[in-house]
Every structure is written in C-alpha cells, then in structure tokens.
Copies of this chain bind each other. A is one copy, B any other.
C-alpha cells in the first residue's frame, strides 16, 4: 500500500516511489531525465508527483549530487542607485545560468563583510560577488587574497565588482569599469567648451579606488591639454547630496574662481545644483556641472545632467558570467568595461564675461 506521508510533512521521493510502485531511484531518474525509463513507468511516477504535490528538497539534492546552484551578492546596501543596478545584473545572469541569488548587505561594515563571506562559504555559494569600492590598503589586499584562496579551496569563486584586482596569482574574478577613462573624457569635454577653472568635487578620501581613478582621469585630461592640474578640489567627505550641497556653498562663500564643477558622482551633482540655484547662478549659463554614473536621477534633475554613463547592470551580468564560465584552473581574471560621456543640458560653453 502507498505510504501515507504524515500531515505537515512534505512528501519525499520515497512517498512518490511507494505511491507509484517503483523504487526511489526510478523516481529520481524520471525527475532528472538522465536515464532511460519506460513510458508507462514515467507516466505513473509523474501522476504520483502531481497527486502528492511533490517538490524536490534542494538541500538534499545539493548534498547528494551536484552542488547548490547559488550565487551570493554582497553589497553595501540595496538602495544605492548604482548598487541596485549591479544587483539587477547579477540576479539576471544568475537566473540565466540557472542559479539562485543570495543577497546580503554590509552597510559599510568590514567586519560584517567578513562574516557574510564566511556564511557564504557555509552555503557553498558557487560565486561570491563583492560590490562597491574597497580601499587600496595593504591589510585590505591581504585579507581579500586570503579570502579568495579560502573560497577557491571550497570550490567557490571570489568576484570583485568595481574593485581593484588582487594580483595574477590570486584566484579571483575582477570586473571593473574605466573610471579614469570616463573622467578623462568628460573633463576633456569641459575643456573643449572653453572651461579652464574646473573644480573636482569629491577628493578627500584617498585610497578609495573608484574616486581615485576618476581624479586621475581629471588630472590627466588637464595635462593632455597643457593645463596645470588644478589643485583646487573641493572636499566632499561623504558622497551624498548634502555634502555636495555644502561643499558648493562653502566654495561660493570662499569666493573661489571657477566656471565648471565636475562632481564625482551624480548624487553629489544633485546637491551641487541645488546650492548653485540657491545662489542665483544659472546652469549651464553661469556655471557648468557634470556628474558621473548616469543613474536615472540624472534625467530628472533640472537641467538634465551631462555625465558619464556606466552600464552597471552589464557589470553585474559580466561578473557572474565570468565567474561561472571560467576555465578550470584559470587563476586571475580581469575585465575592464568601457564607459561613455552622455551630453545633456548641464554643461555649456564658457560664459563670455567671466562672471565670477
């Protein structure tokens, strides 16, 4: 007689097997479809599966056969505009490759990040994607290298998204985008419009690789045009609206001479715009403003922001794709993705009479 599964318990292969008069192995084979089973048997098994509303136990499957089809995504927080897009890309590619996606947030706490990586090792995630700028400190690099090795030994893969590579002999997948190139391009654009006094708003956090790259591009563009690299850089300690707003007000109050502001991120730029508007300055007639990231906000600002487009979603997709489809024994992987300037309304030619 068919074994009656206890109420509240979910049916197992054994229940299905009993109910359809075959062995558990056969049920497994029908479900996996990787072994010849007669049509009649298959039909009986499928019928029992439907009647019992059987679903497989993913844990047991992972334990017995192939691993967990899981990718982990560790991020500062989910609501940051660029983070969300990377996450979207990671989830998309994970799904496309038949994996599920675990997501965790660190809220910027490095200890928490370590805990989470450990947790993901327990979970046997096939890839652990870390997103967001890390610092370039020695301890950071050492710790990441150690983690990369530990994950590798567990059959997993460390993926760094928008962080600097660790070294050629470290088993990790790194996907970056061209911070320096984008900053170079958009600075050149401002210079070509006639601007000579450009403020880079976003220094002040040395070691932050994303910002460092952008600053490098900014300086390189000045050198390429035989301009002295301006040391005039407004400090925006935190990279939020408020700090962009305050830094701009301070700049104006100090009577600094400038005709354009290069905000290190679009979010900072949104604060800059508010401060300029409050000061009665028109953008771009009086002052030009550009940003970086091209988050959706950029088109909602007034005026619409000229900025550098980064395809964050593709960044996430590429990260997962490379991590899962790498050559066995491929140690270090490193990809740099391109970016491009998006010209909108917030930057214009130099005003004729230097207004300030």
Contact assessment for A88 and B78 in the assembled complex, using a CB-CB cutoff below 8 Å: yes
Q: Verify if A56 is at the interface (C-beta below 8 Å from B).
A: yes
Query: Which of chain A's residues 46-82 have a Cβ closer than 8 Å to chain B?
Result: 53, 55-60, 62-63, 68, 73, 77-79
Against B, the Cβ 8 Å flags (1 = close, 0 = not) of A93-126 are 0010000111111000000000000110111100
Q: Verify if A138 is at the interface (C-beta below 8 Å from B).
A: no
* Chain B proximity of A119: nearest CB distance (Å): 7
Q: Verify if A343 is at the interface (C-beta below 8 Å from B).
A: no
Q: What are the residues of chain B within 8 A of A296 when measuring CB–CB? A: 79
Query: Which of chain A's residues 293-320 have a Cβ closer than 8 Å to chain B?
Result: 296-297, 299-302
Q: Verify if A339 is at the interface (C-beta below 8 Å from B).
A: no
Q: Verify if A292 is at the interface (C-beta below 8 Å from B).
A: no
Residue in chain B with minimal CB distance to A101: B103
Task: Give the number of residues in A that approach B within 8 Å (Cβ atoms).
Answer: 48
Q: Verify if A91 is at the interface (C-beta below 8 Å from B).
A: yes
The complex places the Cα of A123 from the Cα of B63 at a distance, in Å, of: 13
Q: What are the residues of chain B within 8 A of A95 when measuring CB–CB? A: 104-105
Q: What are the residues of chain B within 8 A of A101 when measuring CB–CB? A: 102-104
Query: Which of chain A's residues 246-281 have a Cβ closer than 8 Å to chain B?
Result: 270, 277
Residue in chain B with minimal CB distance to A10: B154
Query: Which of chain A's residues 179-202 have a Cβ closer than 8 Å to chain B?
Result: none
Pick the residue among B88, B105, B302 that contacts A79 (CB under 8 A): B88
Number of copies: 2
The complex places the Cα of A118 from the Cα of B8 at a distance, in Å, of: 17
Contact assessment for B153 and A10 in the assembled complex, using a CB-CB cutoff below 8 Å: yes
Q: What are the residues of chain B within 8 A of A297 when measuring CB–CB? A: 297, 300
Q: What are the residues of chain B within 8 A of A218 when measuring CB–CB? A: none
Residue among A10, A85, A103, A121 with the most chain B CB within 10 A?
A: A103
The complex places the Cα of A85 from the Cα of B80 at a distance, in Å, of: 10
Contact assessment for B122 and A57 in the assembled complex, using a CB-CB cutoff below 8 Å: yes
* Chain B proximity of A45: nearest CB distance (Å): 17
Pick the residue among B62, B153, B301 that contacts A300 (CB under 8 A): B301
Q: Verify if A155 is at the interface (C-beta below 8 Å from B).
A: yes
Q: Verify if A348 is at the interface (C-beta below 8 Å from B).
A: no
Residue in chain B with minimal CB distance to A53: B150
Against B, the Cβ 8 Å flags (1 = close, 0 = not) of A278-292 are 000000000000000
Q: Verify if A132 is at the interface (C-beta below 8 Å from B).
A: no
Q: Verify if A87 is at the interface (C-beta below 8 Å from B).
A: yes
Q: Verify if A234 is at the interface (C-beta below 8 Å from B).
A: no
Contact assessment for A55 and B155 in the assembled complex, using a CB-CB cutoff below 8 Å: no
Q: Verify if A243 is at the interface (C-beta below 8 Å from B).
A: no
Q: Verify if A342 is at the interface (C-beta below 8 Å from B).
A: no
5 extra interface residue pairs, beta carbon distance < 8 Å, beyond A73-B103, A91-B103: A55-B121, A59-B62, A63-B63, A79-B85, A297-B297
